[in-house]
Amino acid sequence: MVLAFSTINLSVSAEQKDPTGISFYVLRVIYPESEKRGVTLRAYNKTSSVYLMQSWIQPVDTDTGNVGLLNSTSTAMPFIITPPLQRFEPGEELVLRIRRTGVELPNDRESVYFISMKAIPGQPVPKDKQITPSVTLTVVTNMKLFYRPEGLPKRGVQEAAVQLKFSQQGDTLIADNPTPFWLTFSHLSIGNYKLNNDQMRLMVPPKGQQQYHLPQATRGDVEWQLIDEEGWNTPGQRQSLTPH
């Protein structure tokens, strides 16, 4: 699985064997507690350009599933990533290391954060000094980082998909997750209505619930698939509902 991004766009492909751009051969990072020295994320510059790669850790906004805004620049994160800023040459491999800090995390369930990475393209010096350099577009990609305490299996999402339970209250679909894993849908539908990507961005928290708004009078069976540890879809599941 390849995550490739450039200064123009982002693309993800399971079939593209030699993508151009800056590539990551994972779609998410799993950090087991047993990895006391941290975990690594490798990036590959498959372009002819020099970049400045900036990397940092950000929280997840559980109300949207997007990157959360820090309350202040001094807010402590439970992880650090090194190097935070690195020159990235064409054809080069960049190894990013993620380590724990002293900030405590729950020991009975997963925690989730974002690894944010900005590729800033280098600008050539204009031959004519009177020419103003053009504005350069940069792309920030956010990759999920899942921290798994001791006792949680390295691969548990597929089993968690089977344990999900759904109920419906009026125009709200409720997903109940009894497992210790954060769960992300790759497909979720009820009857003929398929939830869109913005809706599915809302993860189901461990040992908790998530609610999804439905169009009025939506009825039918629920069908779903999750994104597993390697970015693949879990087998499809189906459940009949009795609306309340």
Mean pLDDT for each 10-residue chunk of the chain (244 residues)?
Answer: 36 46 91 95 94 95 86 76 96 97 95 96 64 64 96 92 97 97 98 96 98 95 97 97 70
Contact 49, 90 (CB under 8 A): yes
Query: Which of 148, 181, 211 is the endpoint of a domain?
Result: 148
> Per the domain annotation, does 88 fall within a domain?
yes
Judged by phi (left if over 0) then psi (alpha if -120 to 50, else beta), residue 57 lies in: beta
122 and 65 in a common domain:
yes
143 and 161 in a common domain:
no
| Whole-model pTM over 0.75 | yes
The predicted structure's pLDDT at residue 244: 61
> Per the domain annotation, does 35 fall within a domain?
yes
CATH code, domain carrying 171: 2.60.40.10
Phi first, then psi, for residue 215 (nearest 5°) are -60, 155
The predicted structure's pLDDT at residue 11: 35
> What domain count does the chain have?
2
The whole domain housing 24 covers 2-148
Contacts of 219 (CB under 8 A, 6+ apart): 190, 191, 241, 243
The predicted structure's pLDDT at residue 70: 63
19 and 123 in a common domain:
yes
The predicted structure's pLDDT at residue 14: 39
**Does 124 sit behind a cis peptide bond, omega within 30 degrees of 0 on the bond before it?**
no
The predicted structure's pLDDT at residue 88: 95
> Per the domain annotation, does 244 fall within a domain?
no
